[in-house]
Structure 1
Amino acid sequence: MTRTVAHDRDPAASADTADTAETAEPAVVVRDLTKAFGATRALDGFSLTVPRGQVTGFLGPNGAGKSTTIRILLGLLRATSGHAEVLGMDPWRDAVRIHQRLAYVPGDTNLWPNLTGGEAIDVLTHGAKGAAHRRRREELIERFELDPTKRSRTYSKGNRQKISLVAALSRDVDLYIMDEPTSGLDPLMEAIFTQEVARLRAEGRTVLLSSHILAEVEKLCDTVTIIRAGKDVESGTLEELRHLTRSTVAATTAADHTALTAMDGVHDLVAEHGRLRFDLDDGAMHEVLPELTRMEVTGLTITPPSLEDLFLRHYGDDLSDGAARREAAQQETAQQETAS
């Protein structure tokens, strides 16, 4: 079925797409996936679901298994065991058909050095034609401030990344897979990227966004899966995940706070000059709020946990020496496997 790009859509069509997405099968289903590189297990029983019509965040530091998962979904690696399905197809057997229906943005884009940027976009979009595609392509080239007449070998990393983004975002496909897509972009271009993904989200498009930039994921994603050491350790909407960790409460009161200190669910309370600050378990909120009312607080702020709080719940301080070693081992073995 042919779909028109964003410019040609009307609100009713977008609403229909969103309604259909709610009942459709997920765009990506991964269950108990494992991938071993020699003695190293890059994936160890990993599971992931990407609902249609949503932006799904895929979080983890380098070496956690994000890129390995994406390479399996793209048909570039074969899983050791487990189940992977993309748009209802097997990514290893049906890679060609799948690639006709998805757009991919890698974290480091390698281009053909003698092609111009415009020619590289043509290759990456598989020669997509039509007035709507041309309009969208030109709009994106302008938005990302890209000169498509230059040879690819002259581009900086950021400009190579723009080529990949223009090519992917100009395509009218069923699934967008983005692996660290803002790598090399300056803050202004990161903002443009955020706007473009928000646009896809508003249109009910399906996006898998892999990133280690927490603010990026928190701003854009409907659901989040956190991966650690090849395992999924948390998955759900941000609202669901926030219930799994503590909120921060700040209150202003002259009353005695002894009773509050003794209450279950109150942690790390600090009192100074009439100001209280403490962490609060989600389940204790209904007991603590009446006590705060009794204390006649004159100011109250309750801050739900950020995505960073959720992330650090699983990673704490060890975000990286082991992960970096793991990534290096995976890349070396993957290169050997690809070469063979």
Structure 2
Amino acid sequence: MNYVTAGTAYTRDSRYLTDRITADGREGFPVEAGRYRLVVSRACPWASRAVIVRRLLGLEDALPMAVAGPTHDERSWTFDLDPGGRDPVLGIERLQEAYFARDPGYDRGITVPAIVDVPTGKVVTNDFARITLDMSLEWTEHHREGAPELYPPDLRAEIDAVNAEVYQDVNNGVYRAGFAGSQEAYASAYERLFTRLDLLADRLTTSRYLVGDTITEADVRLFTTLVRFDSVYHGHFKCNRQKLSEMPVLWAYARDLFQTPGFGDTVDFDHIKRHYHLVHRDINPTGIVPAGPDLSGWLAPHGRSSLGGSPFGRGTPPEPVAPEETVPAGHTPQGG
């Protein structure tokens, strides 16, 4: 499986299935508790956004989750973590089957997150950016009491602007560096990435969160890249000007979020490392998975509370993770 094309810059395939699940069902898919299944991999940063938002909003019962294993081949993600290698609800071995159930000639990426309509076994959407926004806007009937407002109306324009910059230069920027097919393409991605990280650090020097004084969709989107930075992007993707742990403001900000219920308790560092180092064989042909880094620093005091703000505003933290969704011991810092 090749991700790098010599002599070219990396371009993400953004041809997603964009049907939406809405409160009024205007696109044919109404919000219904238990009807759909959110398919994720804890290795994937795009899927991790959905895992975090689902937990913050308390949608675990309304939108059940299937967790694919951390590796995949050309055919797709597999349910090798489940007994018999099949998702117990969908009854499939590979996510590919749900895409082909919708379109037998489907020729785009078999990506996570994906939301599958359980009665038909067909993928409804894999539009990762829209999925989390619709969790906030369309699934409100099923939000837990005390759920945070992650996409408040008065801040949406600013959140959208921040998200656009973070996506271009950071979320996708690490991939543009890691999958660059030329020195020039790599240098351009590297420069944009660290320029943006420096600007974000300046912003976060006097503000606890990216937009406003509580966590929002913007923090979720930046966090899923930062939490993977030292484990995979610094070395594997050659984003090595500094480690996250060597960038004081961003490191403290990331630790603050990691220690906030709903963030760090969804992170599986073992899956993250195994995915990148085992799947990207054109970058890491030996398939050796690094033993480090030391994860204990994620639990160190962050000192960000002095900046004011509160993660949940007038709301409350989510309840502890359900036993069946707990990250395995040894895959996260002790106590994380």
TM-score range, shorter chain: under 0.3
TM-score w.r.t. the length of structure 2 is 0.27
Write 1 or 2 for the structure with the bigger share of strand.
1
TM-score w.r.t. the length of structure 1 is 0.26
